[in-house]
Amino acid sequence: MASLVIESDWIVPVESPAIRGGFLAVESGKIIYVGQQLPGRFRAFPKIHLSGGAILPGLINAHCHLELSDIDRPLEVPSGIDSSGPMVGWLGKLMARRRAISQSGAELAESKCNATLRGIEQAWETGTRLVVDNITAPWSGDWCERTARGFFAGARSDALKALVPEVPIHIKPCIELVDVTELRGEQTWAFAQQADASISQADAVCRRPVGLAPHAPYTASKRVVAKAVASACEPHGLVSMHLAESLEELEWTDCRQGAFREWISPWIDSQHALHIVTFDELLRILAGAHRALIAHGNYLNLRQIDWLEQYRERMAVVYCPRTHQHFRHSKHPSEKLADRKVSVFLGTDSRASNPDLSIFEEWKTACKAFPELGPRYWMAACTTGPSIFLGTEHLAGTMRMGSKSLLTWVPLGESSISCEAELWHSMLSSCGVRPLEVQVSLIETKFA
């Protein structure tokens, strides 16, 4: 059995204090020890010393759309009095892009497959080990299997055999559900079945059970949300929904007014429109799921946040800091949510509103936007917090013994760091975050 001890300047389990000059023992892709002293039973293991950085748990991206990862630059958000509204204007650009792909004659499935593969690669390169990914038709679990298993799959050294599990990144697919017409509603559930069936293995890159993602209050009626929740109330069930993302959405759900009214009228049918409901009602329905992620939650009000407190074990908000900045939204209610002990996790959203898929950069942005919550709080928001919420502690997001060794390396340079506060400060100016196996491979190459 391949085994390895890694000695590092800093090891940061996040759910316990940082360890200065600690040891990590791994065997066949699993963590078997983390601590300050190396017990005798591990002394005969091959050893590697990593200096100038810190080892962290694998990062978790709690909200993403990998299928848009071929967009090089975020789509511009219109502003000014002539615009149809920032969110509606941006959505129009996104839909125009999709139409252009179809009209160009390019095969949509091939284009989406390539974009998804690029996204998985971008996520893995920046230390992400689990992505909660909204998927739309066409999609196949095989796309993800082929790519993710390819990282470091070739000739591996003994050290890499000990460190890297067979699957280096996992995807939690959340099937996007839209029912603006009866036909669209039927298609959405047919796609859900087909996507689930395309995941071939139980312990694979794509994790079962798949999540369900009623798209947003303007495209998902309460009927589709309730049906999704009913099938996600068993253990490990997950519903993820864009909610309270924009002021335009609020105007539409509450008063049937604003920019969405004109945008939505050509393709919405009257039956569907009757079942568009308010944020309050959607929150009440979502509370029935085993776990519910509220993507964005930018405009949740104080009363809704107070209400969420009683469901904080099963409902959490995903804040996407750089996407939030891109849309120039009002201040995110992170502090108020934290005050009520409602979990806030971090997500990137897609490349249509974000320059890359680095969750570490989201962490830095969140730390700057809400320094009072502190860097440890925000690191938990993209590691241990979502891991425990989603029940994936054995897989990604923790440094617990018995968990897979899907870990992150944060380079810190040569500066001397004497305490945990200095360590966090130093991490905030770090760039070049990478999977731990990449760092080990670099060191091996250097001394080969």
Under the rule (CB under 5 A), what is the footprint of Zn ion? 349
Strands of 178-305, DSSP E: 211-214, 238-243, 291-296
Q: Are 87 and 44 in contact (CB under 8 A)?
A: no
Nearer to Zn ion (CB atom), residue 42 or residue 345: 345
d(CA 384, CA 264): 39
Nearer to Zn ion (CB atom), residue 27 or residue 349: 349
Residue nearest to Zn ion as judged by C-beta position: 349
Nearer to Zn ion (CB atom), residue 345 or residue 424: 345
Neighbours of 338 (CB within 10 A): 16
Q: Are 305 and 335 in contact (CB under 8 A)?
A: no
Smallest gap, in angstroms, from Cβ of residue 440 to Zn ion? 34
d(CA 261, CA 277): 14
447 Cβ contact partners less than 8 Å away, ≥ 6 residues apart: none
Smallest gap, in angstroms, from Cβ of residue 63 to Zn ion? 6
Smallest gap, in angstroms, from Cβ of residue 145 to Zn ion? 24
Nearer to Zn ion (CB atom), residue 132 or residue 407: 132
Residue whose pair of structure tokens reads 């149809």 in the numeric block: 84
Smallest gap, in angstroms, from Cβ of residue 215 to Zn ion? 9
d(CA 18, CA 10): 7
Assess whether the previous peptide bond of 321 is cis (omega < 30° from 0): no
Nearer to Zn ion (CB atom), residue 55 or residue 71: 71
Q: Which of 325, 332, 294, 299 is nearest to 311 (CA)?
A: 294
d(CA 94, CA 352): 8
Smallest gap, in angstroms, from Cβ of residue 324 to Zn ion? 12
Smallest gap, in angstroms, from Cβ of residue 301 to Zn ion? 21
Nearer to Zn ion (CB atom), residue 349 or residue 362: 349
